[in-house]
């Protein structure tokens, strides 16, 4: 299924209290990440979720920011977030830096989520051109990968609740 064929995301129904979701974003490409954020927050509002947005410098800092949120919860003994949404954009350049940033940011997010059992939706675009990213960030009312990442986080929260993991 291509992005063009995908149905527009809608917030899943969750039983229990309103979920609390931290959106961590790397607004290096501001227009792209603002579009992703708008899509994610729209889904979170539909779900009745409480949310907050935290900006970091770039895609490489996304995993560390999520880990810091977990560390703060460990330190205080208080669970503040039910889930996380990570948003960013990496555009291919003339060097292999793109490959390293893509691998480390996505791999780092996955590693933090697996290690700590986090409910995480990843909306980090990896594209050849900014124009490609804008199309995936709700441009021209098209698909929004930020919205899809928020749906993924909410579905993970629902699964964690159903399984008794939280």
Q: Kindly name the residue from 45, 97, 100, 103 that is annotated as catalytic.
A: 97
Q: Which two tokens stand for residue 46?
A: 């539909």
Q: Answer yes or no: 100 catalytic.
A: no
44-81 in b/e form (b: 16+ CB < 10 A) is: bebbebebeeeebeebbbbbebbbebbeeeeeeeeeeb
SS3 content of the chain, % helix, strand, coil (to 5): 50, 20, 30
CA distance 41 to 49: 9
Angle between helices 145-163 and 30-46 (to 10 degrees): 40
- DSSP states of 101-154: HHHHHHHHHHHHHHHHT--EEEEEEEESSHHHHHHHBTGGG--BHHHHHHHHHH
Catalytic residues: 97
């Amino acid at each position: 299924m291509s992005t063009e064929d995908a149905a527009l995301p809608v917030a899943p129904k969750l039983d229990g209290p309103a979920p609390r979701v931290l959106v961590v974003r790397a607004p290096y490409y501001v227009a792209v990440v603002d579009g992703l954020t708008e899509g994610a927050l729209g889904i979170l509002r539909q779900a009745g979720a409480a949310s907050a947005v935290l900006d970091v410098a770039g895609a490489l800092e996304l995993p560390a920011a999520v880990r810091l949120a977990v560390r703060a919860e460990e330190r205080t003994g208080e669970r503040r977030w039910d889930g996380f949404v990570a948003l960013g954009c990496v555009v291919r350049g003339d060097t292999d830096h793109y490959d390293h940033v893509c691998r480390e940011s996505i791999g780092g997010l996955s590693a933090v989520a697996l290690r700590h059992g986090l409910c995480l939706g990843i909306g980090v675009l990896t594209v050849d051109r900014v124009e490609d990213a804008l199309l995936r960030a709700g441009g021209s009312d098209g698909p929004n990968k930020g919205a899809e990442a928020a749906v993924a986080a909410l579905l993970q929260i629902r699964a964690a609740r159903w399984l008794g993991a939280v």
